[in-house]
Structure 1
Amino acid sequence: MVSVGIDLIEIHRIERSLQNDYFIKRVFGEHEIAELTGRSYPPESAAAAFAAKEAFSKSIGTGVKGFSLTEVELLHDENGAPYLLLSGKAKQIANEKRFGFSVSISHTRELATAIVIAFHKGA
């Protein structure tokens, strides 16, 4: 392990924001939007995705600077396990640091959380 980022968010904050198309396009990438749309944008899932983006930014030590939130997408594999799909400057930063990432998410009715562990690739 190299570093860790964690975030916790109140779901109602994201639920309100999901009614704003500008927010959706500014925060979620096209793959995320497709996945969330397929599930009718459940606010818990959207909040967990937002928390994962924040946790990622903390794990690389930059905060949300130098890349767009849309470049960090929380997706799920065929078994439902979450993973991060990076693009653009977020991917460039990760490659420069030679980081790979592990992500875990959880939520209740009120809160969503995500933890991202950054590790050196090949370690």
Structure 2
Amino acid sequence: MIVGVGIDVVDIARFVRQVQRTPRLLERLFGDGERGLPPESLAARFAAKEAVAKSLGAPVGLVWRDVVVEREHGHRPEVVVKGSAKEIAERMGVERFHLSLSHDAGIASAMVVAEGR
């Protein structure tokens, strides 16, 4: 059963400018394993975090760093939730997230489907 769907797009250049103006933004949004990625990958991951939030109904109390996009070489990216995001997802009956990421022509995008019981 589909619990929720979320989509988000990010202008990569605007995202980079924002991070340059507010360097601590990277620490607030991303975990240690994410911060070293290229700007287009970070923008896509931020879009994924926004899409996850939307799939959960944009809940109050969601901590951005509690939504992580992991990707092993040769495998598709996956959403991993912990802390606040995991609590909210469990409360809503979400058992897994389906994720699609893209970045091209200066835009990063993500689409998420939250699946539950």
TM-score range (shorter-chain normalised) is: 0.7 to 0.9
In 1, distance between residues paired with 2:97 and 2:51?
11
Aligned to 2:84: 89
Question: 1:113 corresponds to which residue?
Answer: 109
SS of match in other structure, 1:103? strand
In structure 1, C-alpha distance between the alignment counterparts of 2:51 and 2:71, rounded to whole Å: 17
Structure 1: segments with no counterpart, 5+ residues: none
Is the 1:3–1:59 contact (alpha carbons within 8 Å) kept by the matching residues of 2? yes
- Root-mean-square deviation (Å): 1.5
TM-score w.r.t. the length of structure 1 is 0.84
- Deviation of 1:119 after TM superposition, in Å, equals 0.6
Gap change, CA 1:82 and 1:102, over 3 Å in 2:
same
Any conservation in 2 of the 1:59–1:116 contact (CA below 8 Å)?
Answer: yes
- Distance, in Å, in 2 between the alignment partners of 1:109 and 1:26 is 27
**Divergent runs of 4+, >3 A:** 17-21
More helix by share: 1
Please report the TM-score for the alignment, with normalisation by the length of structure 2.
0.88
Q: Aligned equivalents of 1:56 and 1:89: distance in 2?
A: 12
Aligned to 2:55: 59
Show CA shifts across 1:31-86 (max 9, x none).
322xxx2xxx31110100000000000001125x2111111111212324111121
Q: Percent identity?
A: 39
| Whole-angstrom CA distance in 2 between matches of 1:12 and 1:74 | 21
Is the aligned partner of 1:102 residue 2:104? no
**Structure 2 residue corresponding to 1:49, chosen from 42, 45, 49:** 45
Name 1:17's counterpart in structure 2.
18
SS in 2 for 1:32: coil
Question: Unaligned regions of 5+ residues in structure 2, if any?
Answer: none
**Whole-angstrom CA distance in 1 between matches of 2:67 and 2:9:** 17
**Maintained 8 Å contact 1:44/1:109:** no
Q: Do residues 76 (structure 1) and 46 (structure 2) align? A: no
> In 2, are the aligned partners of 1:29 and 1:72 still within 8 Å (CA)?
no
Q: SS state of the match for residue 31, structure 1?
A: coil
